[in-house]
Amino acid sequence: MSTLDAHEQHLAVLNRLVEVSLVLNSSLSIDRILTQLMDATTTILEAESASVILRDVNTHELHFLAMPTNSAHSEKLVRIPVPMEGSIAGSIIRESKPIVLNDVTQDPRHYRDADAKSGFQTRSLLGVPMRIKDRVVGALEAVNKIGDHWAENDQFYLEILASQAAIALENAQLVQKLQKANDELAQLDKLKSDFIAIASHELRTPLGVIMGYASFLKEEAKGELSDHATAVLNSALRMRDLIADMTNLRFLNLGESELMREAVSLAQLIDLAKGDTLSVIDTKGHQLSIEMPDEDLALDVDRAKILLAINNILNNAVKFTPTPFGKITVRCTTRTDEVWIQISDNGVGIPQKDLDDIFKAFYQVEDHMTRRHGGMGLGLAIAKSVIEAHGGRIWAESDGPDKGSTFIISLNCSKQEN
Ligand code: ADP
């Protein structure tokens, strides 16, 4: 071969190596990387076969991975244990040095059992260590050079392949670890959700009994006993709200596909929310005013879930507004193809630094131990999840402590056609 031909051939192999590098690094399955690596090794080095010997990270035992002889392109590899002492791969890995053998049968280190188990006859072998940083993780071997002896550049090409494969393998292993950690987290999360769902469901039945008997007692008892019954009933009602919060935890991370959308009139929605909260508003003696657009609108929403979000905000407005002189306003306005539902109060207000954080689950402005208001810190997180599943936005505004708060829900809308 002329020098020019040799140069051209060298260039062609280098181009092929770049291609192989891209293929190896775009794969995240370890077996796939190894089969692609062995394929590339046999074609580039003109060898009959190739094998990878990997060192187990825990036991440090070696495993010879080979393509089954009957299906050269299968992705399922045969794994055969190889001794660290008394094998060529063991020597490459221990000494971190390449080995070039044109006649394996003359080398006492050749591990003949691997041939027997894979059904392959090894004649010549070129092997290099596979390194990740300064760790030798295995060896890559080209087996049985077709025709002649191993060529001058073969070792150089094999070393490039081995280093590219080592990086691809490490990436794939890291992704697998990450995937496993993610799966474990998802399992834990499911366990937690199941526990909360079961616990909240089981708590509801005895609470119903407590509330029933406390109501009878309150009606029938007189004097101090009636006050005691009222105290039991009030506490039971608070507990019912907490259990409802727990039950609604399932709406955190709500997906769009979990919505049961239907056309709902805005006026009807606000009316329902008013009906749900009127008794607590009246009990606290707050004033409620509602401002609606002249023309009603149809919203394409999940009625029950949107109502839950609006109620959570309305209930907060009641809860965080001291009596007397509490004023709560629900103002609905339209802008292009959005409707804004603004719920304002003249209550305790929210410090600027907390305006975003209050939408996180379990976040409360007041310290948990000293807080005067009940609640688990879930209402706004659930409201945000519901609104965002609808493709809407929710945010809070406040001029600071004691300056009241406004919560704004923005939803897509279209004018009602009738
Ligand atoms: P919870 O009401 O159970 O504490 P939320 O998620 O509904 O949980 O609210 C989180 C926190 O946001 C509340 O603890 C409170 O500190 C603050 N917050 C919510 N609504 C108001 C409001 N209208 N006025 C003042 N602070 C509010």
- Please, where in the chain does CATH 3.30.565.10 lie? 252-415
Cα of 379 to ligand 1 centre, how many Å?
8
- Please, where in the chain does CATH 3.30.450.40 lie? 3-180
pLDDT at 417 over 60: no
How far does CA 179 lie from the centroid of its chain?
Answer: 10
Q: Which atom of ligand 1 is nearest to the CA of 407?
A: 23
Residue 43 and residue 23: Cα distance in Å, rounded? 15
- At 370 the pLDDT is 62
Cα of 316 to ligand 1 centre, how many Å?
6
- Crossing angle of helices 266-284 and 303-319, in 10° steps, is 30
- Crossing angle of helices 154-220 and 3-25, in 10° steps, is 10
pLDDT at 283 over 50: yes
- CATH code of the domain made up of 3-180: 3.30.450.40
Quickly count helices (H) and strands (E) in the chain: 9, 14
- CATH code of the domain made up of 252-415: 3.30.565.10
pLDDT tens, 357-386? 999 998 999 876 666 777 889 999 999 999
**In this structure, which residue's CA is closest to atom 13 in ligand 1?**
364
User: pTM score, two decimals?
Assistant: 0.62
Q: Which atom of ligand 1 is nearest to the CA of 343?
A: 23
Q: Which of 65-69, 100-104, 173-177, 276-280 has the lowest mean pLDDT?
A: 65-69
**In this structure, which residue's CA is closest to atom 21 in ligand 1?**
316
pLDDT at 70 over 80: no
What is the band of 5 on the pLDDT scale with cuts at 50, 70, 90? confident
- At 87 the pLDDT is 87
- At 418 the pLDDT is 44
Cα of 104 to ligand 1 centre, how many Å?
77
What is the band of 29 on the pLDDT scale with cuts at 50, 70, 90? confident
What is the band of 73 on the pLDDT scale with cuts at 50, 70, 90? very low
Cα of 364 to ligand 1 centre, how many Å?
6
Cα of 358 to ligand 1 centre, how many Å?
7
Report the share of the chain in percent with pLDDT over 90: 56
Average pLDDT over residues 342-359: 97
pLDDT tens, 224-237? 888 999 999 989 98
**In this structure, which residue's CA is closest to atom 16 in ligand 1?**
365
What is the band of 76 on the pLDDT scale with cuts at 50, 70, 90? low
Pocket around ligand 1 at a 6 A CB cut-off:
312, 316-317, 320, 345, 347-348, 350, 358, 363-366, 375-381, 405
Amino acid at 276: D
What is the band of 68 on the pLDDT scale with cuts at 50, 70, 90? low
- At 111 the pLDDT is 78
Q: Which of 95-104, 154-163, 184-193, 408-417 has the lowest mean pLDDT?
A: 408-417
Q: Which atom of ligand 1 is nearest to the CA of 364?
A: 14
**Closest to 13 in 3D by CA, of 131, 146, 156:** 156
Order the strands of the 62-66 sheet from edge to edge. Answer: 78-82, 62-66, 47-55, 135-145, 125-132, 99-101
Q: Which of 125-129, 177-181, 261-265, 412-416 has the lowest mean pLDDT?
A: 412-416
